[in-house]
Amino acid sequence: MQDGPPRTRDQEGDFETVTVPEQHCDQLRDLMIAEGAETVVEVGLAYASSALAIGEALATIDRPNPRHIIIDPFQKREFSNAGWDLLCSAGLDAIATLMVTPSSLALPQLLTEGFVADAAFVDGSHRFHEVFVDLYFLRKIVRPGGLIVIDDDWWPSVHTAVQYYEKNLGWTVISAAFPGETAGVGPKGNRGARCKAYRLPDPAFEPSFEDFRAF
Ligand SMILES: C[S@@+](CC[C@H](N)C(=O)[O-])C[C@H]1O[C@@H](n2cnc3c(N)ncnc32)[C@H](O)[C@@H]1O
């Protein structure tokens, strides 16, 4: 991705604003490799920097049946397929599938089909309710003890959704996953980490509603 995508939207600095930066992509790739992931679900393709990082990890790990499910309803309309074309030119379409429906519909479909993932990366709508719903389904799709990585946790909408799962459902932060992140400064000066990685509890559990912790 050093050369950038083949085309971008007609907005100044769009690639730099939208895509996951190179350093975080490298850390995401290394995290997936350390995890030995074989199946990954990704929400939000855009310019595919993160998708290329995940694809590189799956190719490096080289398990028998690697699968990379990517969900993005706006890849064609908004991004003229720039991200998907990059994945294809890297040969990663051999293991990747693009679902062009909103994640709130694609994720329950995957769950219904019995798809199980080792890990997920979430960089989709960023609206509180849509992130919350993504995480609701991903905790059922990603296996117990698996990994869920969030981008843009420095946005209050994203952070608040994630906090429910951290405070109530036993998700634990993997603080070593994105070194140097705690001192980040996000959009509009929001302080905090951009990327956050969580380990799901193993075994999975459902808490009583009486144990709800406000967050
Ligand atoms: C910040 S961009 C993702 C950037 C990407 N990770 C990269 O490295 O280039 C957010 C993406 O989420 C997609 N998106 C928005 N709403 C979505 C939804 N409801 N379901 C899935 N993807 C969505 C957008 O089309 C956009 O491509």
Q: What pLDDT, in 10s, does the model give residues 147-162?
A: 999 999 999 999 999 9
Our answer on whether the CB atom of 78 is closer than 6 Å to any ligand 1 atom is: yes
CA 103-140-38 angle, 5° bins: 85
Q: Would you place residue 7 in the very low, low, confident or very high pLDDT band (cuts 50, 70, 90)? A: confident
pTM of the predicted model, to two decimals?
0.94
Our answer on whether the CB atom of 27 is closer than 6 Å to any ligand 1 atom is: no
Determine the distance separating the centroid of ligand 1 and the alpha carbon of 124, expressed in angstroms: 4
Count Cβ atoms below 10 Å from residue 213 Cβ, excluding itself.
Answer: 10
Our answer on whether the CB atom of 103 is closer than 6 Å to any ligand 1 atom is: yes
Closest ligand 1 atom, CA of 103?
A: 20
Q: Would you place residue 188 in the very low, low, confident or very high pLDDT band (cuts 50, 70, 90)? A: low
CA nearest to 139, candidates 109, 112, 107: 107
Alpha helices in the chain (DSSP H): 14-18, 22-35, 49-61, 75-79, 82-89, 103-112, 128-141, 156-168
Domains and CATH numbers, the chain: 19-211 (3.40.50.150)
Q: Is the pLDDT of residue 16 over 90?
A: no
Closest ligand 1 atom, CA of 18?
A: 1
